[in-house]
Structure 1
Amino acid sequence: MSATGAKSVPRSPGSQASLREANRQRIVDTVKHLGRLTQVELAAATGLSTATVSTIVKTLVADGVLATEPTSRSGRRALEVSIARQVGVVAALHVGARTLSVALGDLAHAVIAERDLPLPPDHRADTTLDRAALILVGLLENLGTDIGELRAIGVAISAPVDRGTGLVLAPGALRSWRDVPVAQVLEKRLARPVHIDSDANLAALAELAQGPVDDLTDMLYLQLSHEVSAGLVLGGRVYRGSSGTAGQIGHIQVDPRGPVCRCGNRGCLDTEAGEAALVGALRTSHGDLTLRDVVRLSAQGDSGCERVLSDAARRVGEVAGSLVTAFDPRRVVVGGELAEAGDVVVGPIREAVERVYLRHEFGGVEVLAGTVGTRAPLLGALELARRETRVVPTEPEDEGTDS
């Protein structure tokens, strides 16, 4: 079924009609994945001529699939192309240890509504998912949008998940969520397709989609929040492993005689760089703090908070350096709440990575703070929902093509 409700007609391979349909789909997919583009930029991205792009865009605007808006590039007038709002919207949830975030976006990479809700420690899955569904429906109603226009929902969760079943594989920061089929529960509540992944994986996806445009295909993303996890990008794709637990570096052992971790092992990275370790190290001198308090006080020059954060960052950097040796990514990106501390955290990670990883003469690794910020998992969930949404244009009677 097409975006306008008409059924597509099968075409014989190699026919002019097949070529026209392929060109239309190429243009729609390019706009959906890259966001707003001028017609000249769209021609360069698709390899089609500007005349063909102009002709196809006109028909897709008439069909209600694309929208255009006057703009300028380098002082010249241009026509910017985007996915039409009436094609539908996508939604995203980020379920963290202390916060629930909900957002709506269009298929042209714009966030059109957003809301955050604080959560109690050890919040229950059923209650939190009920709240998420109510907030999502409320945002749709505020926009005057029917839930039938919601194409897909992306979910970022602070735990490893099986994307095939939507099942939380291990509790992570969400102690009561183990074996909860999050995708299935939300699909039952909202009757819309749900796609789920860990917040570290989706934060890495957001950096790929919304960060600087370059030829980056291999990256290690460090999600430093209530727990430590990572998103590994190989060959331009997020690597999830055979069961979905790839990137759970918070459970790599760094001290065989260290404290027992919640996973049951001893001396995991989380026991030195997770929230409990950070606030615990400051309890005697500072009293009860939250993770955000530690970052805020560090930014204000508190030497104790700076020391605790830099020590934890150094441990994370040592683990990251070993992963750089193993996978040879071009870039290590530091994200999550701790990245808000700036060079107090990023600096020690960079120093440790450079000290640990196997150097070679053909290049090095770049270590830097993420460009998307703490909203990266939420924006990555929106990107996941977009990528899982198929926009199929209707086939017109006739239009120009490139041979």
Structure 2
Amino acid sequence: MERTSRRDARARVVGVLAEAGAVSRADLARRAALAPSTVSAVVSDLQAAGLVVEPAAPVHPPERGTVGRPPVLIALHRKAGVVAGVDFGKRHLRMAISDLSHQLLAERHRALDADLPAREAIVLAQRMFKEALEAAEVSKSELLGIGMGLPGPVHRPSGELGNSTILPGWVGINAANAVSEALGHHVEVENDANLGALGEWVWGSGRGVEHMAYVKAATGIGAGFIVAGQPYVGAGGTAGELGHTVVDPGGPICRCGNRGCLETFAGGPAVLAALADLHGDELTLQDVVRLAQRGDTGVARAIADAGAAIGTAVATLCNLFNPQKVVVGGDLGAAGDLLLDPLRESLRRGAIRSAAEDVVVLQGELGERAEVLGAVALVLGRVVA
């Protein structure tokens, strides 16, 4: 019984350290729901084995307003293992390798052709994975897990991407199985907006709250949720399809088959189509943001219109969910207040007063890295001794 109890305590301590990064012993005891004396004994064992260290500098900055001498932090040593994150987008592939103290060891990014077939994208991921491991100077044997994001609902029972994804070449493919086989290690797949929420909650604008929503405004529009300090994906993994909220039943036909979905008014293709007469059809969303920030009033109006439409849907989200923060990322999220001010105004008009007063709308801190860092965080949250 004693051996089992000690093993369970060790698993809890390692799991908390992997999920949280560097923490104080007091915080570790609280998060692991263990007595301080038990935590002290487990940490001593881990230190003796060289698996726990006191980092020279905290992985995360101290919370604003803290005074006095900061507590001594502990973290898992590099030799405890590493994890990887992969993020497939419509036009990009990102990868990151992290140790269990949340220190990033390598990152890679590659532009992709739009609608690249899944098999070709997976071959590129295989090459990038090898490059990232070499850059991080780690071997595959040290890898504890891989998280992966895809832009669309990942149906948990089947492991397949739903037909509302913006990656038509992946529909009907069991992404986890295909990428696991290519990388030679088990891969856990999740919707990219869910991973964006996790990334911003662990490392970015969502730190320190129990209830938050992340809105990824890019080619598609998706949402991810943190509820009571835990990611929430719904019964089958498809929670957060904000872009397919119907805002006008008589509106344009959406790729999901419905009419008037939010994405048909505020998704990337809709924004670009609205600007085609002014700027041609070669614009990207990154171009749109740059033009707006340089003072192009027509482009700024298109972004504002998208923000107002997204805000109407986010108002309903706040009425139903009542989050403390809504963090906005994605290519359009990079426009900052050009998108967020109209979004906030629509939210205030559409949400009940208490829900509107409870929430703060913020730009994401992690930018285009939110989803790949969320993929890393997904696996960190699964690590046990």
Assess same fold via TM > 0.5.
Answer: yes
Q: Is the Cα contact below 8 Å between 1:161 and 1:245 reproduced in 2?
A: yes
**How far off its partner does 1:165 sit?**
4.0
Q: Which residue of 1 aligns with 2:137?
A: 144
User: Counterpart amino acid of 2:254?
Assistant: C
Q: Is residue 221 of structure 2 the alignment partner of residue 228 of structure 1?
A: yes
**How far off its partner does 1:357 sit?**
0.7
**For residues 68 and 361 of structure 1, do their structure 2 counterparts lie closer, same or farther at Cα, with a shift above 3 Å needed?**
closer
User: Counterpart amino acid of 1:105?
Assistant: S
Q: How does 1:264-343 map to 2 (within 5 A)?
A: 264-287=257-280, 288-343=282-337
User: Counterpart amino acid of 1:260?
Assistant: I
Provide the C-alpha distance between the structure 2 equivalents of 1:208 and 1:54, rounded to a whole number of angstroms. 28
**How far off its partner does 1:334 sit?**
1.3
Q: Which residue of 2 aligns with 1:3?
A: none
Out of 170, 186, 190, the position equivalent to 1:193 is 186
**For residues 134 and 340 of structure 1, do their structure 2 counterparts lie closer, same or farther at Cα, with a shift above 3 Å needed?**
same
**For residues 240 and 45 of structure 1, do their structure 2 counterparts lie closer, same or farther at Cα, with a shift above 3 Å needed?**
closer
Give the number of aligned pairs. 377
Q: Is the Cα contact below 8 Å between 2:200 and 2:207 reproduced in 1?
A: no
Q: Which residue of 2 aligns with 1:32?
A: 18
**For residues 361 and 147 of structure 1, do their structure 2 counterparts lie closer, same or farther at Cα, with a shift above 3 Å needed?**
closer
| SS at structure 1 position matched to 2:149 | strand
Q: How does 1:108-257 map to 2 (within 5 A)?
A: 108-211=101-204, 216-257=209-250
User: What are the Cα deviations for residues 341-397 of structure 1, in whole angstroms up to 9, with x where unaligned?
Assistant: 11110111111011001123995322222233221111110011112232x2xxxxx
Provide the C-alpha distance between the structure 2 equivalents of 1:302 and 1:380, rounded to a whole number of angstroms. 33
| SS at structure 1 position matched to 2:234 | coil
Q: Is the Cα contact below 8 Å between 1:335 and 1:373 reproduced in 2?
A: yes
Give the percent of matched residue pairs that are identical in Structure 1 and Structure 2: 36
**For residues 311 and 384 of structure 1, do their structure 2 counterparts lie closer, same or farther at Cα, with a shift above 3 Å needed?**
same
**How far off its partner does 1:142 sit?**
3.2
**How far off its partner does 1:103 sit?**
0.9
| SS at structure 2 position matched to 1:283 | helix
| SS at structure 1 position matched to 2:163 | coil
Provide the C-alpha distance between the structure 2 equivalents of 1:71 and 1:134, rounded to a whole number of angstroms. 33
Q: Is the Cα contact below 8 Å between 1:163 and 1:195 reproduced in 2?
A: no
Q: Is residue 356 of structure 2 the alignment partner of residue 370 of structure 1?
A: no
**For residues 257 and 53 of structure 1, do their structure 2 counterparts lie closer, same or farther at Cα, with a shift above 3 Å needed?**
closer
Q: Is residue 365 of structure 2 the alignment partner of residue 356 of structure 1?
A: no
**For residues 71 and 216 of structure 1, do their structure 2 counterparts lie closer, same or farther at Cα, with a shift above 3 Å needed?**
closer
Structure 1, 154-163 or 366-375: larger mean CA deviation: 366-375
**How far off its partner does 1:182 sit?**
0.8
Provide the C-alpha distance between the structure 2 equivalents of 1:275 and 1:163, rounded to a whole number of angstroms. 27
| SS at structure 1 position matched to 2:93 | strand
**For residues 57 and 291 of structure 1, do their structure 2 counterparts lie closer, same or farther at Cα, with a shift above 3 Å needed?**
same
Provide the C-alpha distance between the structure 2 equivalents of 1:40 and 1:240, rounded to a whole number of angstroms. 31
Q: Is the Cα contact below 8 Å between 2:97 and 2:136 reproduced in 1?
A: no
**For residues 343 and 245 of structure 1, do their structure 2 counterparts lie closer, same or farther at Cα, with a shift above 3 Å needed?**
same
**For residues 281 and 78 of structure 1, do their structure 2 counterparts lie closer, same or farther at Cα, with a shift above 3 Å needed?**
closer
| SS at structure 1 position matched to 2:319 | helix
Structure 1, 217-226 or 310-319: larger mean CA deviation: 217-226
| SS at structure 1 position matched to 2:265 | helix
Q: Is the Cα contact below 8 Å between 1:160 and 1:244 reproduced in 2?
A: yes
| SS at structure 2 position matched to 1:317 | helix
Q: Is residue 82 of structure 2 the alignment partner of residue 96 of structure 1?
A: no
User: What are the Cα deviations for residues 192-250 of structure 1, in whole angstroms up to 9, with x where unaligned?
Assistant: 12111111111111122223676622222211011111113333333222332221121
Q: Is residue 50 of structure 2 the alignment partner of residue 61 of structure 1?
A: no
**For residues 153 and 163 of structure 1, do their structure 2 counterparts lie closer, same or farther at Cα, with a shift above 3 Å needed?**
farther
User: What are the Cα deviations for residues 293-346 of structure 1, in whole angstroms up to 9, with x where unaligned?
Assistant: 001111111111100000011001001111211222222221111111111101
**How far off its partner does 1:19 sit?**
4.5
Q: Is the Cα contact below 8 Å between 2:22 and 2:55 reproduced in 1?
A: no
Provide the C-alpha distance between the structure 1 equivalents of 2:339 and 2:148, rounded to a whole number of angstroms. 28
Could you say which structure has the larger radius of gyration? Answer: 1
User: What are the Cα deviations for residues 43-87 of structure 1, in whole angstroms up to 9, with x where unaligned?
Assistant: 565576767655533321232322334559978697542212122
Q: Is the Cα contact below 8 Å between 2:196 and 2:374 reproduced in 1?
A: yes
| Unaligned ranges ≥5, structure 2 | none
